[in-house]
């Protein structure tokens, strides 16, 4: 495991590498979700700012959906963002492979299909209405692909054997608690909140669908043009990312407090006691982007009509991350 001390050294060296240049803005996006715990800790504990040093001025923006984050990146409102796999795939496809690069993994796991107590198996889902965070987002694709494997037909307009209603996570929780929604495939902490507050139960833990239980839930992407123009700034950001990853793994209790307080400040909602800790147990924080799972996510999106066939060659730019990992004695991460 990478230690905080090792990462401090890496951060210092990355920031120093660009001290001779005038500071440039670096605008980073992330979501107020537990699955973005690395980003939240990096921001709240000033890890990114310290890693960047004098190489860049640091600004942040928060989003509730991957589509919004991608539009912000496309328009130049942000330069990099933590995001789920399918919005990154869509951005890569829309730009014909030019606009974005994945530069690190962040989170694996932390997504589930939670349903009402009277739904005991996939066979009980016919005629039900299920939610997802947004049309075409990572959990939406996972839900539609899994339903297809169970023999259910769905369409993008909400028709078929099972109705899928994309909507904001908070709306999903309210509707589920009120009994007007039969279930939803959501990321943490929403899955745990649907169990704790809504009385639901987990029908599918997405980890059970992947080899070794590992699949990318969140990774870090950057505008290709920014990466090419400011490679040393991105190296410094990545050094901070590696340090923040070590932090959330080495000091779990403090990281949870930091993430909980930030989510409350950003959303105005305090997570109920115990929810954050239980949600945390359902995911893992890693700099490995688990590239093999991205390929399957793309194929799933193609199969359900949300994505035209796309060649993902070139979507990863992992060498800056791997340079940092090698300096700490850690194993480099693969891009396939």
* Residues 103-160 pLDDT 10s: 999 999 999 999 999 999 999 999 999 999 989 888 999 999 999 999 999 999 999 9
Q: In which domain, by residue range, is 45 found?
A: 4-110+213-327
pLDDT at 58: 97
Pick the last residue of a domain from 173, 190, 212: 212
pLDDT at 10: 40
Residue 165 to residues 19, 170, 185: CA-CA distances in angstroms?
A: 49, 13, 11
* Residues 241-257 pLDDT 10s: 999 999 999 999 999 99
Average pLDDT, the chain: 91
Tokens for 76, please give them: 């130049």
Residues 96 and 195 both lie in one domain:
no
Residues 43 and 93 both lie in one domain:
yes
Average pLDDT over residues 277-305: 93
Residue 1 to residues 248, 256, 281, 283: CA-CA distances in angstroms?
A: 11, 19, 18, 16
Pick the last residue of a domain from 179, 196, 212: 212
CB 172 within 8 A of CB 115: no
Does 167 score more than 50 pLDDT? Answer: yes
Q: How far apart are the first and last CA of the chain?
A: 22
Does 300 score more than 60 pLDDT? Answer: yes
* Domain total in the chain: 2
């Amino acid at each position: 495991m990478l230690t905080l001390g090792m990462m401090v050294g890496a951060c210092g060296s990355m920031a120093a590498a660009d001290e001779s240049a005038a500071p440039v803005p670096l605008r980073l996006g992330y979501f107020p979700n537990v699955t973005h715990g690395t980003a939240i800790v990096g921001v709240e504990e000033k890890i990114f700012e310290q890693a960047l040093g004098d190489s860049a001025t640091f600004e942040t923006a928060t989003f509730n959906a991957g589509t919004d984050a991608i539009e912000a990146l496309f328009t130049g409102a942000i330069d990099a963002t933590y995001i789920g796999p399918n919005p990154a795939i869509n951005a890569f496809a829309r730009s014909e492979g030019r606009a974005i690069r994945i530069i690190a993994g962040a989170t694996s796991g932390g997504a589930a299909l939670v349903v009402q107590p009277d739904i005991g198996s996939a066979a009980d889902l016919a005629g039900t209405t299920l939610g997802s965070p947004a049309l075409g987002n990572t959990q939406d694709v996972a839900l539609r692909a899994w339903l297809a494997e169970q023999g259910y037909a769905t369409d993008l307009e909400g028709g078929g054997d099972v109705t899928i209603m994309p909507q904001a996570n908070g709306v999903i929780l309210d509707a589920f608690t009120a009994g007007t929604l039969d279930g939803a495939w959501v990321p943490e902490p929403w899955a745990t909140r649907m169990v704790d507050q809504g009385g639901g139960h987990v029908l599918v833990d997405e980890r059970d669908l992947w080899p070794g239980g590992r699949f990318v839930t969140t990774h870090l992407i950057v505008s290709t043009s920014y990466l090419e123009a400011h490679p040393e700034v991105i190296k410094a950001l990545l050094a901070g990312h590696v340090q923040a990853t070590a932090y959330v793994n080495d000091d779990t209790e403090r990281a949870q407090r930091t993430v909980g307080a930030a989510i409350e400040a950003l959303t105005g909602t305090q997570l109920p006691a115990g929810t954050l800790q239980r949600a945390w147990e359902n995911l893992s924080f890693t700099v490995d982007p688990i590239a093999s799972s991205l390929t399957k996510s793309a194929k799933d999106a193609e199969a359900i009509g949300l994505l035209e066939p796309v060649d993902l060659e070139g979507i990863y730019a992992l060498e800056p991350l791997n340079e940092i990992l090698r300096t700490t004695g850690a194993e480099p991460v693969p891009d396939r």
